[in-house]
Amino acid sequence: MASNHSVTLDTINPKILECEYAVRGEIVTLAQKLQQELTENPDSHPFDEILYCNIGNPQSLGQQPITFFREVLALCDHPAILDKTETQGLFSADSIERAFQILDQIPGRATGAYSHSQGIKGLRDTIAAGIEARDGFPADPNDIFLTDGASPAVHMMMQLLIRSKNDGIFCPIPQYPLYSASIALHGGTLVPYYLDEATGWGLEISELMNQLQQAKSKGITVRALVVINPGNPTGQVLAENNQRQIVEFCKNEGLVLLADEVYQENIYVPDKKFHSFKKVARSMGYGERDISLVSFQSVSKGYYGECGKRGGYMEVTGFSPEIREQIYKVASVNLCSNISGQILASLVMNPPKVGDESYESYFAEKDAILSSLVKRAQQLEEALNSLEGVSCNRAEGAMYLFPRIRLPNKAIEAAQSVNTVPDAFYARRLLNATGIVVVPGSGFGQVPGTWHFRCTILPQEDRIPAIISRLSEYHKGFMNEFRD
């Protein structure tokens, strides 16, 4: 019986073996091991702490949550205290008011009850109004599906779209590996389109056309196009003109446009602005009948950085009623997303306004976080560009830098001799030498023969000089060792 266990590496779903997710992959396992060693013996390594620059997890690196949001959430978690006068001494008046307003939208004020499977109606109304205020085009609360973060919504769409290996999903290369992993788990085929590093990670329609032809010739039916804007790991903000071309392309080729817009509030350059794909499509005169578009948003990024809450939504437009029913059905199997996350999503899309009691402190917190991100992005980018053989596009948005390292042949050979992908070899040595955790570019996809790593801009400002100096020192040493 022992050798015939039902669940073993040999008998589990092979799609699981196939999928990969480098953001929390090998390098992180190694980092955790080193962390353990440091705890047991602080002198065991040439550094005294692990610096996790592998994941967009701002609050784990000291970023503070937005006070107003947390006040409202705390009151919604424990509405019983709203009846106590002492509560007014602990919370701002407008957070109490907002909590009442939200609780009134929840039957029985029961924040512990399963809600409607798309999320609480009143909160969807708020989010729709927020989308309309952002874009200048109406949004329908019935188009909104609140989910435990944006990731489950992405999985849902892959589940609907992928029938077999012959169904392809267009993904940018480099991409956030949720997409490659999700496509693998659902048994589909990833159809790559390469972003152009030389032009700031630009997206060329000719590249899309080319890849589409190639896919078709292999018998792949391409079903959808994923665009991440601002980009992850690449950080570029698409030019509006580019966005129009993408919308036109999807419309003409009959592709569902999957717009990952979770970094919409992370824009660091004055010459770029976020334009939602919905806004772009609508301003082109394209409506429900013209283009099928799913837009994803999350509470994990922006200036709020509430990763642990698992809040997010997808706005689904341009689908038939039958498909809408099916999406609802799939959402209903899980009953609903966590209520606190739903409330947070509504706060993110409808934050304090000028004149509200909490506005000034809210704005000061937001501004401090965003200005600091701009600064950190610039400092790290500059430092990376100063390294031998390293070039780094600017982080126009999102939370990452994705420098390219021109690894000398000797280094590549050394990597191959230990059966390691060259950028993973570089990243592992970096970790062992400095305690800095980055994700090798191979985890995101890159033009073959090029090497990158993704590093977040999230460590607190006072850590940045140390990171820069340790990284620089390591890199010099590496190049000295392996220079051709």
Partner 1 sequence: MTSKALDYENLNENVKKCQYAVRGELYLRASELQKEGKKIIFTNVGNPHALGQKPLTFPRQVVALCQAPFLLDDPNVGLVFPADAIARAKHYLALTSGGLGAYSDSRGIPGVRKEVAEFIERRDGYPSDPELIFLTDGASKGVMQILNTIIRGASDGILVPVPQYPLYSATISLLGGSLVPYYLEETANWGLDVVNLRQSVAQARSQGITVRAMVIINPGNPTGQCLSEANLREVLNFCYQNNLVLLGDEVYQQNIYQDERPFISARKVLMDMGPPISKEVQLVSFHTVSKGYWGECGQRGGYFEMTNIPPKAVEEIYKVASIALSPNVPGQIFMGLMVSPPKPGDISYERFVRESKGILESLRRRAQIMTDGFNSCRNVVCNFTEGAMYSFPQIRLPPKAIEAAKQAGKVPDVFYCLKLLEATGISTVPGSGFGQKEGVFHLRTTILPAEEEMPAIMDSFKKFNDEFMEQYEDHRGYSRM
Q: Give the footprint of partner 1 on residues 196-235 (CB under 8 A).
A: 223-224
Beta carbons of 127 and 134 less than 8 angstroms apart: no
Binding map of partner 1 across residues 386-425, x = CB under 8 A, - = no contact: ----------------------------------------
Q: How far apart are CA 119 and CA 125, in angstroms?
A: 10
Q: Which positions from 143 through 202 interact with partner 1, judged by CB under 8 A?
A: 148-149, 151-152, 159-163, 177-178, 181-182, 185
What's the closest the beta carbon of residue 330 comes to partner 1, in angstroms? 6
Torsion angle (degrees, nearest 10) of CA 295, 354, 309, 262: 30
Q: By C-beta, is 5 or 449 nearer to partner 1?
A: 5
Q: How far is the CB of 265 from partner 1 (least distance, A)?
A: 15
The answer to whether 475 and 390 have CB atoms below 8 angstroms apart is yes
CB of 374 to partner 1, least distance (A): 21
**For residues 77 and 140, which CB has a smaller minimum distance to partner 1 in the complex?**
77
> Under rule CB under 8 A, which residues in 258-317 are in contact with partner 1?
289-292, 300, 305-310
Q: How far is the CB of 436 from partner 1 (least distance, A)?
A: 17
CB of 462 to partner 1, least distance (A): 16
Residue 338 in the binding site for partner 1 (CB under 8 A) = yes
Contact 293, 256 (CB under 8 A): yes
CA distance 168 to 254: 13
Q: Match 């700031």 to its residue by tokens.
A: 200
- Residue 476 sits at the vertex; the CA angle it makes with 482 and 414, to the nearest 5 degrees, is 25
3-state per-residue secondary structure call for 318-337? CCCHHHHHHHHHHHHHCCCC
CA 375, CA 163: separation in Å to the nearest integer? Answer: 45
Among residues 194, 296, 319, 362, the one that binds partner 1 under rule CB under 8 A? 319
* Residue nearer to partner 1 on the CB measure, 165 or 483: 165
The nearest distance, CB 357 to partner 1, in angstroms, is: 16
Host H or E run for residue 50: none
Rounded Cα distance between 307 and 58, Å, is 8
Query: Which region, judged by CB under 8 A, interacts with partner 1, from 6-14, 193-201, 359-367, 415-423?
Result: 6-14
Residue closer to partner 1 by CB (options 11, 469) is 11
Binders of partner 1 in range 94-123 (CB under 8 A): 107-108, 110-115, 117
- In 3D space, the residue among 224, 275, 230, 228 whose CA is nearest the CA of residue 251 turns out to be 224
- Angle ∠(479,380,398) on CA atoms, nearest 5: 125
Options 83-91, 211-219, 233-241, 268-276: segment touching partner 1 (CB under 8 A): 83-91
Task: Pick out residues in 11-70 that bind partner 1 (CB under 8 A).
Answer: 11-14, 16-17, 19-21, 23-25, 55, 57-62, 65, 67, 70
Axis crossing angle, helix 178-185 with helix 150-161, rounded to the nearest 10: 40
> In this chain, which stretch among 189-197, 253-261, 353-361, 470-478 interacts with partner 1, using CB under 8 A?
253-261
